[in-house]
Structure 1
Amino acid sequence: MTQELAEGPHTILPDDSEFIEVPSEREKIFVASPRQLMWWRFRRHRMALLSGVVLILLYLVALTWEFLAPYDPLRHDVQSAYAPPQRLRFFDEEGFPFPPFVYGLKGERDPETFRKIYEVDKSAKHPIKFMVKQGDPYRFWGFIESDLHLFGLEDNEGTVFLLGADRLGRDVLSRLLAATRISASIGLVGVIVSFVLGVLIGGISGYYGGTADIAIQRVIEFIRAMPSIPLWLALSAAIPKDWPVTRVYFAITIILSLIGWTGLARVVRGRFLSLREEDFVQAARFAGASEGRIIVRHMTPSFLSHIIASVTLAVPSMILSETSLSFLGLGMRPPALSWGVLLREAQNLQAVALAPWLLAPGLLVVIAVLAFNFVGDGLRDAADPYAR
């Protein structure tokens, strides 16, 4: 039976089935919701999509580093000071063994420089086991006691330093994984606080105007006119050195937030100035809505996508600020672990020359900052899905 296909996108089913109209790509755009349009536009930004995957993995590491790290990050062995990275090997003289393994290390003192020189000991072969128990005990998120690690060695005779060891023989990989939790979370926490302050203060400035607007803008100009680094140094120096790690963490977060809210406040103020005379705002006033409800439920959601993009681009600056403060010794302090604290090990040029793997936290900072910037670019493009 021959059937003629009418104009338009259709699909013919066999026998006596009816025609089913399948929307074309252009028709899908016309009927799609704004969220679908934003997702489709964001998905076209390949680097933003890849960076989003990188950030998801980064925060999964931050959530589960106790399980992922092969050693306790504070465990030290002076005999393994500045031990080089041990290469993970998948082949030996017999072919392809499973599981993979690492060769042992032999350390000897140079009689002239007294520097310890390590050589690969192929007579000591250490298979790497997965889901290893009886490792260094830990408390997962400070609550659940366990000694289960993703990988490690079952015997205590060898070591598995995939990223080498520092001057005290501590595993750099374990310390890097542990530092990810503080450095990655302090950016999010700081941006959340800045978001609340920026939207609240900027909304008041733009919605009410007048004296409130003038006073708030003068305060913003005063804060932005001050050099950021000296201001960080002054506020961080006020933190007592005997404070515990948790209190220092929140103090650094508040310091970064008190400085970082001004840019978002100005963006919100500008948007509120343009929106407060719109028809939907006047309709909400005539319907008897309170001013707080108008701001929170009507005006802010109308440009929430732009705020999300701005906040995403603000996270890397928070991470860099914390890293800078900790690197200078004014932020997080040992025994706390952050990327900046780990980079303090690389302050000594001689140590970097002997152990370049100590710069690994700097590489992770670069990856995180680039990933956030690419995701921010993608969200900024997706925030206006109707733009060409």
Structure 2
Amino acid sequence: MPTRTSKPPAPTAGEEDIDAAAGRGSPWRLVWRKFRKHKLAVAGAVVVLCAYLVVVFAEFLAPGSPSAGDAKHTYAPPQTVKVDLSRDDGLRLYVNGYRTVRDEETFEQIHTVDPRQRVPVRFLARGDSYRLWGLIPWDRHLIGSADPDTRVYLLGTDRSGRDVLSRIVHGSRVSLSIGLIGVAVSFLLGLLFGGVSGYFGGTPDTLIQRVIEFLMAIPTLPLWLSLSAAVPADWGPMTRYFAITTILSVIGWTGLARVVRGRFLSLREEDFVTAARLDGCGRGRIIFRHMVPSMSSHVIASLTMAVPAMILGETAMSFLGLGLQSPAVSWGVLLQEAQNVRTVETAPWLLLPGVAVFVTVLAMNFVGDGLRDSADPYKQ
């Protein structure tokens, strides 16, 4: 009778360390083994993954609509979720309501948290209607008031009485997606011009490098001003969104092109490239089947470092009034509320979009550092 061949056992953790030290295994497995030893990079990857999950489920995670305002609760302070332990039917969540007083000098309405008022809070609460992913009609939110006619403001409100938390959650969709789209366009431009420059050399290399040096020599802010001035003021939010993405892509491809050119210059003299050339392979096959895969880990590390730069670029342009404008919602647009020092003194929670930018960019930088260190898995 034919004998059944047993599947070889999976390597243990000690055997994986021995294989990694000896440089055995596929390149991607070696990269992963070294990456997961970088604790900050792994923690950053978890934060980035959570951030993009917020992008995907923004309507469900936000307590309400980002454009819904309440004139009675302008500049209302954040409400803290508390647990009611005095009830016998289990734990109940609530937030304290507001008490409105009028300043005797400025006659301005000032909202303070009233500990005597309790607003019940629940998960999967009913609220503003929306279409999840633009397809599924729903009115459930992750957390909200138990009474559909009452709103909770966990991070306070702005000058129009709009929920800051809902606007931060919805703003992440624009700010984080513009980084991915901009990097994708920059990747194509950088791979194309950097590959041509590094593989062919000569006159194409000289021309492309002079263009790169010209673009990199222009100060960033004047370049933003000139490119943003070319965008018509009557364009809608989505049109301006794609215009800003194009502007950031035009600026951001030069660094990646330099990286790709350097790798191509070193790889075109390698033995496997020479062997492929002698075997009769065409230039396209040599570039895309042999050279590009061998440098993919370095390109991925460079792209990971470029995404935070794109996010900061969009935030800075929108903050300065050169990028997206209201009613569009992005982290840069939200930070426009913090331009007034008196407003920040009155409502410091309006700076929270800046905290979201800081945490996300820092996490992406940690991931980029980890990928950069893991790109050469044979280096100890």
Report the TM-score, using the length of structure 2 for normalisation. Answer: 0.92
Q: What is the identity percentage for the equivalent residue pairs of Structure 1 and Structure 2?
A: 56
Q: Which residue of 2 aligns with 1:283?
A: 275
Cα distance in 2 for residues equivalent to 1:183 and 1:78: 27
Q: Which residue of 2 aligns with 1:67?
A: 60
Could you tell me whether the CA contact under 8 Å between 2:74 and 2:158 is conserved in 1?
yes
The equivalent position to 1:109 in structure 2, one of 77, 102, 113, is 102
Q: How does 1:331-342 map to 2 (within 5 A)?
A: 331-342=323-334
Measured after TM superposition, the shift of residue 242 of structure 1 is 1.6
Change (3 A) 1:279 1:324: same
The answer to whether residue 240 in structure 2 is matched with residue 248 in structure 1 is yes
Change (3 A) 1:98 1:366: same
Q: Give the secondary structure class of the aligned counterpart of 1:147.
A: strand
Q: Give the secondary structure class of the aligned counterpart of 2:64.
A: coil
Q: Which residue of 2 aligns with 1:229?
A: 221
The equivalent position to 1:309 in structure 2, one of 301, 313, 318, is 301
Could you tell me whether the CA contact under 8 Å between 2:248 and 2:313 is conserved in 1?
yes
Which deviates more, 288-297 or 202-211? Answer: 288-297
Which deviates more, 188-197 or 242-251? Answer: 242-251
Measured after TM superposition, the shift of residue 229 of structure 1 is 1.0
| Gap runs ≥5 in structure 2 | 1-10
Could you tell me whether the CA contact under 8 Å between 2:58 and 2:170 is conserved in 1?
yes
The equivalent position to 1:34 in structure 2, one of 27, 42, 45, is 27
Post-superposition Cα deviations, 1:45-98, rounded to whole Å, max 9, x if no partner, equal: 111100100000000001111011111110011110000001111245669952
The answer to whether residue 135 in structure 2 is matched with residue 143 in structure 1 is yes
The answer to whether residue 63 in structure 2 is matched with residue 58 in structure 1 is no
Q: Which residue of 1 aligns with 2:92?
A: 99
Could you tell me whether the CA contact under 8 Å between 2:304 and 2:367 is conserved in 1?
yes
Could you tell me whether the CA contact under 8 Å between 1:81 and 1:167 is conserved in 2?
yes
The equivalent position to 1:326 in structure 2, one of 318, 321, 326, is 318
Q: Which residue of 2 aligns with 1:120?
A: 113
Could you tell me whether the CA contact under 8 Å between 1:90 and 1:97 is conserved in 2?
no
Post-superposition Cα deviations, 1:263-291, rounded to whole Å, max 9, x if no partner, equal: 11111111111211222112222222221
Measured after TM superposition, the shift of residue 164 of structure 1 is 0.2
Q: Which residue of 2 aligns with 1:183?
A: 175
Measured after TM superposition, the shift of residue 331 of structure 1 is 0.4
Could you tell me whether the CA contact under 8 Å between 2:70 and 2:161 is conserved in 1?
yes
Measured after TM superposition, the shift of residue 363 of structure 1 is 0.5
Report the TM-score, using the length of structure 1 for normalisation. Answer: 0.91
Cα distance in 1 for residues equivalent to 2:48 and 2:135: 26
Cα distance in 2 for residues equivalent to 1:46 and 1:287: 44
Could you tell me whether the CA contact under 8 Å between 2:335 and 2:353 is conserved in 1?
yes
Cα distance in 1 for residues equivalent to 2:90 and 2:154: 19
Change (3 A) 1:213 1:150: same
Measured after TM superposition, the shift of residue 167 of structure 1 is 0.4
RMSD: 1.9
Cα distance in 2 for residues equivalent to 1:356 and 1:92: 31
| Gap runs ≥5 in structure 1 | 1-20
Cα distance in 2 for residues equivalent to 1:119 and 1:147: 29
The aligned amino acid for 1:313 is M
Cα distance in 2 for residues equivalent to 1:236 and 1:95: 61
Post-superposition Cα deviations, 1:190-216, rounded to whole Å, max 9, x if no partner, equal: 111111110110000111111111111
